[in-house]
């Protein structure tokens, strides 16, 4: 079953708010690693249930590792051999160094919290880092290649079991250490939209240097007010900044009972993305693209799924957005629907027709950014409703 994303999920910066914010750092840690659910008493003794939340994820991950370092350092390990005790001390020292780096992997790959053993930018997870520093680089690279999202308890390897036994750290401790990472905005390098590709992501440390879209002025406060459905003000003045001198009939557009989300000039034409009210007969909210034509009328194209933004690539105009599919499940004896996949939705203007790009980009498309002569498609995945799965993002089918 397909459902459209409620529009309130997309704030103007296209970041998704959490449906139920954590009340304290312990609730945050339970998302960082579910093993914390088993250790609520320890968390209570440490005062974590009364500790304010930590905003930055890297700081939260560092706090997670630092706290476990303190817990593990105080444990009595008389049952370990002398060699295991020495190895344990070495690993805890490395763990202490690791959290101070504040440079854990980023989850660019999945729409839900999950471990990433080594990300594509070369960052090791905490357990991977322990193995790396003890001479297991080849093993770590093999994990990255074959099962990069594996959980510690799922590793079936004689080499790993032997390393774990010698490390002086129990399997339970290693499983507790391994962080789960929240989904990130992804900037995928794009050459031609709609062709088969192996995704290549921009280094997250370099995203600050991306050039803004040429029509960035459309994202200013005035247009964010438009986005919230307020009355249109000074639109003509704003459009003149892009040297558009037409005089569209905004009152006629208002009669469509739709709120403007985005508008852009393409060539000599003005295009508008608008959202209507929820239609019970359709079971969804209607989205549409309008064009102000030479005859002085609005031409309307109804989109199949939500679109939120225009952008251009290699001379072509695109409209980007996305949606979710849901699954039916049971919780506490109640039938509920939960998000299963976050999908991309892309349209391309070919002469007078808007054609769908039949390809998945792993999330909701909200823009095209550029750095030098390279272009990057920006996507986000919705996590505010608790989505747990996402399509595998690998080689996609070419557009037919």
3-class secondary structure, 131: helix
Label residue 81 by pLDDT band (50, 70, 90).
very high
Share of the chain above pLDDT 70, in %: 78
Banded model confidence at residue 372, pLDDT cuts 50, 70, 90 = confident
Q: Is the pLDDT of residue 198 over 90?
A: no
Domain boundaries, the chain: 54-177, 186-380
Mean pLDDT of 67-73: 97
The CA–CA distances, whole Å, from 135 to 95, 129, 138 equal 15, 10, 8
Query: Global pTM?
Result: 0.68
Q: Which residues of 156-179 are buried (b: 16+ CB within 10 A; e: fewer)?
A: eeeebeebbeebbbbeebbbbbbb
Write the pLDDT tens digit of every residue in 28-64: 999 999 999 999 999 999 999 999 999 889 999 999 9
- Model pLDDT, residue 342: 79
Best CA proximity match to 71, nearest among 55, 105, 49, 95: 95
Looking at the DSSP assignment, which residues form a beta bridge with residue 181? 114
Which is more confidently placed, 307 or 281?
307
Segment 104-110 mean pLDDT: 86
Least confident of 8-17, 67-76, 268-277, 351-360: 8-17
Beta strands in 109-255 (DSSP E): 186-190
Averaged pLDDT score across all residues of the chain:
81
Give the per-residue pLDDT at 246. 80
CA–CA distance, 134 with 167 (Å, rounded to integer): 9
Distance between CA 182 and CA 178 in Å, rounded?
A: 13
């Amino acid at each position: 079953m397909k459902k459209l994303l409620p529009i309130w999920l997309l704030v103007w910066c296209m970041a998704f708010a959490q449906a139920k914010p954590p009340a304290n750092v312990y609730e945050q840690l339970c998302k960082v690693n579910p093993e914390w659910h088993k250790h609520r008493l320890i968390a209570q003794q440490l005062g974590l249930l009364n500790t304010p939340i930590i905003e930055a994820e890297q700081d939260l991950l560092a706090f997670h590792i630092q706290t476990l370092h303190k817990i593990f350092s105080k444990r009595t390990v008389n049952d370990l051999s002398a060699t295991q005790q020495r190895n344990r001390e070495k690993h805890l020292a490395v763990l202490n160094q690791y959290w101070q780096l504040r440079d854990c992997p980023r989850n660019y790959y999945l729409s839900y919290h999950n471990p990433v053993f080594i990300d594509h930018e070369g960052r090791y997870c905490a357990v991977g880092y322990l193995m790396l520093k003890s001479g297991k680089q080849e093993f770590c690279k093999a994990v990255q290649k074959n099962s990069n999202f594996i959980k510690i308890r799922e590793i079936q390897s004689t080499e790993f079991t032997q390393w774990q036994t010698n490390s002086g750290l129990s399997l339970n401790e290693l499983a507790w250490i391994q962080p789960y990472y929240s989904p990130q905005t992804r900037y995928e390098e794009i050459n031609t939209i709609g062709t088969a590709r192996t995704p290549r992501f921009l280094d997250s440390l370099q995203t600050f240097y991306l050039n803004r879209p040429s029509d960035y002025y459309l994202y200013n406060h005035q247009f964010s007010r438009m986005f919230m459905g307020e009355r249109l003000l000074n639109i003509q003045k704003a459009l003149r900044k892009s040297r558009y001198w037409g005089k569209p009939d905004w009152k006629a557009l208002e009669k469509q009972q739709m709120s403007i989300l985005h508008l852009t000039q393409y060539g000599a034409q003005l295009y508008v993305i608008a959202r209507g009210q929820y239609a019970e007969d359709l079971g969804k909210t209607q989205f549409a693209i309008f064009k102000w034509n030479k005859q002085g009328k609005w031409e309307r194209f109804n989109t199949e799924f939500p679109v939120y933004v225009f952008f251009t690539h290699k001379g072509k105009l695109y409209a980007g957005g996305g949606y979710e599919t849901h699954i039916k499940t049971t919780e506490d004896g109640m039938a509920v629907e939960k998000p299963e996949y976050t999908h991309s939705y892309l349209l391309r203007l070919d002469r007078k027709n808007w054609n769908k790009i039949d390809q998945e980009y792993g999330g909701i498309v909200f823009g095209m950014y550029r750095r030098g002569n390279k272009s990057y498609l920006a996507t986000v995945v919705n996590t505010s409703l608790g989505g747990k799965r996402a399509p595998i993002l690998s080689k996609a089918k070419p557009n037919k």
